[in-house]
Amino acid sequence: MDKQRTAARYPTRTRMLAAFLRGSAGYFVLSAVMTFAVAMLDFVNPKIIGYTVDALIGQTPGAGNSLTGRLLERMGGAAFVTRRLGVVAGIVVAVALCGALARYLFRLFNAMGAESLLRQMRDQLFGQILRLPCAWYAGQQTGDIIQRCTSDVETVKSFVAERLTSLLRISVMLVMALYYMRLIHGGLTLVAFAFVPVIVGYSFIFHRHIGSAFAEVDMQEGKLSAIAQENLTGVRVVRAFGRELYERRRFEAQNQLYTNMWVRLMKILTMYWCTSDLVAGLQILAVVALGAAFCVRGQLSAGSYVAFVNYNAMLTWPVRELGRVISDMSKAGISIDRIRMIMNAEPERDAPGALKPPIDGDIRFEHVSFRYGDGGRRVLDDVSFTVGKGETVGILGGTGSGKSTLVQLLDRLYELPGDGGRITIGGVDIAQMEVGWLRQNIGLVLQEPFLFSRTIGDNLRIARKDATMDEARQAARVAQLEEAVERFAAGYDTFVGERGVTLSGGQKQRVAVSPRR
């Protein structure tokens, strides 16, 4: 279903991420600069330490072609190092402190970028959801939508902040580690590098097979969230009909299924990481053993060996981290696609040149036909009637005969199909009106009143933010609600709770009627 609904607004994952990154990209650029500085500074101290070890034990230090080695030679070489150990130690400490500062700034800018990205994703996603038509919600579960706006958004944020930003550091460390290692010993460098394609290739193979498992886990988590949300919303119904045991078993069964799927997925992930650890361990073992052999044969100095082992450790981390980036792409890709399904859904749009005509004329339904969804039966079939200006009309009919559908079509909560006739007010087709203008002038009282988790006064002013408390009291008086409100200790400041749970059914209906007064 998600793939079928994907539209052209964000045809690729990259384009949607680029849209979300507006406003936070600068932080990630600064973070990348700092991570580059960290990577460069990390390669200085091993060279200094290796040079110092050779100087102290009487071997000729290998300066090589590295910038660090040339600087040490210009400072006086081995003689300077042996006489000025305190200065050398101070340089090592200074480089370490600069590296620590760069790491701090990297984490600071990265965190600021991550939170900015998270806010942008939530704002855009929630704004898009509010613009989607009622027909879209009919095919979705509330719990699944909530999960996409929370869990999936967090997954994308974590991947961008923790994985993509490390790609630059990984690239720099790979190149620099191989460069410094080649300067020390070319043959040993080939041995160390031979394991890199194995780890990376295994990660790509793993990535191809793990995506479907992450997709199934996300789907089952959405179902679990939907059950929890449904029971929390309808808790009074559950208790009134004694369904606690049934609903608990239903939740536990779904939770067990979800847990089993995660356990299976963790087994696959554990196998992957254990294999990666094994290959990385073999690489380190090969380098240490062969490096020691080269030292015994005099092909490698002790200081160079120490530096090479340090550089090899720096090579092992980015290779393993690159494997983690590749594997995490599967989970992040699924989450991005689930968010794209919402972002690519077609929102409500006004027709070009939409009108704001007077809404006080006759209402005419002209040959209106309508069905919910594709392939369903027609709820309305060629319905025509007129409600004259100033008339009061009652519509009677059996359950499912389309009474509520008539009102929802008038308010454009559902759109008429091209061959479904038309509805006019004062002779103007409502399809040509601005939908906000139309709804602003229609008072709709639903069969099941819904109140927001705010005060009674806030709910009375929900449709008119500029309404004064005097106007709210007048609306309550007309709806015969004022006497009930005065019985509450906090009056109009009484908090009604979620969905108006603290009010009676009749009181909720009167509060729901009042905002249109």
Query: pLDDT, tens digit, for every residue of 104-124?
Result: 999 999 999 999 999 999 999
The answer on pLDDT for 384 being more than 90 is yes
In whole angstroms, give the CA distance from residue 166 to residue 163.
5
What stretch(es) of the chain map to CATH 3.40.50.300?
363-440
Look at residues 216, 168, 164 and name the one whose alpha carbon lies nearest to residue 328.
164
Look at residues 492, 363, 475 and name the one whose alpha carbon lies nearest to residue 427.
363
The answer on pLDDT for 63 being more than 80 is no
Strands (E), 307-439: 363-371, 378-387, 422-425, 428-429
In the chain, pLDDT over 90 holds for what percent of residues?
17
In whole angstroms, give the CA distance from residue 438 to residue 293.
85
Structure tokens at 83: 């006489």
Structure tokens at 12: 């690729």
In whole angstroms, give the CA distance from residue 31 to residue 274.
31
Average pLDDT over residues 349-357: 88
In whole angstroms, give the CA distance from residue 142 to residue 149.
11
The predicted structure's pLDDT at residue 496: 80
The predicted structure's pLDDT at residue 3: 41
Structure tokens at 219: 């789907």
Mean pLDDT of the chain, nearest integer: 81
- Compute φ and ψ for 437, nearest 5 degrees: -65, -40
Q: Model confidence over 69-94: pLDDT tens digits?
A: 666 666 666 666 667 777 777 878 88
The answer on pLDDT for 165 being more than 50 is yes
Q: Which has the higher per-residue pLDDT, 64 or 256?
A: 256
Alpha-carbon torsion angle 295, 300, 301, 303, nearest 10:
-100
In whole angstroms, give the CA distance from residue 326 to residue 200.
8
Q: Model confidence over 299-320: pLDDT tens digits?
A: 887 777 777 888 787 777 777 7
What stretch(es) of the chain map to CATH 1.20.1560.10?
2-343
Strongest mean pLDDT among 87-96, 143-152, 411-420 = 411-420
DSSP 474-516: HHHHHTT-HHHHHTSTTGGG-B--GGGTTS-HHHHHHHHHGGG
In whole angstroms, give the CA distance from residue 145 to residue 342.
9
The CATH number of 2-343, from 3.40.50.720, 1.20.1560.10, 1.50.10.20, 3.40.50.2300, is 1.20.1560.10
CATH class of 363-440: alpha beta
Q: Model confidence over 258-270: pLDDT tens digits?
A: 899 888 888 887 8
Q: Which has the higher per-residue pLDDT, 298 or 338?
A: 338
Q: Model confidence over 168-223: pLDDT tens digits?
A: 777 777 787 787 788 778 888 888 888 888 877 777 777 666 767 777 787 788 78
Burial 189-212 (b: 16+ CB within 10 A, else e): bebbbebbebbeebbeebbeebee
